Amino acid sequence: MANAQVGRRLLDNGTVVFDLRGELDVAVNDALRDVLEQTIRRQRPPMVVVNMRHVTFVDSTGMGALVAGLNAARDQEVRFVVQEVAPFVEKQLRIAGLYETLVQAQGS
């Protein structure tokens, strides 16, 4: 992922945490979508957490990758949580009408 960095941690309870940094755009869309979907489908963790505290930009393709992750999680009955959204990213998600779907999907 050229403009973004993805850190991945496994917690003791089996939760997989992705710490995202940088720009989530067309340059990283496929790679981000793949890592989220493959983790969910292959490992079936009890929960996937996407931490976006250090994301500086997100466009529609980056949002699409997150929605793909959410959909994969729902299909596999895995809880999917987007958290610590940076202010600019929160604004973009709200404009797109996805804030409630992604960030408040915590009960999924």
Domain positions in the chain are: 4-107
Residue 18: what pLDDT?
97
Given a cut of 90, whether residue 105 has pLDDT beyond it is no
Residue 5's pLDDT is 85
- CATH class belonging to 4-107: alpha beta
Average pLDDT, rounded, for the chain: 91
Average pLDDT over residues 9-31: 94
Type of residue found at 93: L
Pairing label, strands 4-10, 79-83 = unpaired
**What are the residues whose beta carbons fall under 8 Å from the beta carbon of 61, sequence distance 6 or more?**
24, 25, 26, 29
Rounded mean pLDDT of 66-81? 96
Measured CA distances, 87 to 38, 90, 94 (Å): 28, 5, 11
* pLDDT above 90: residue 3: no
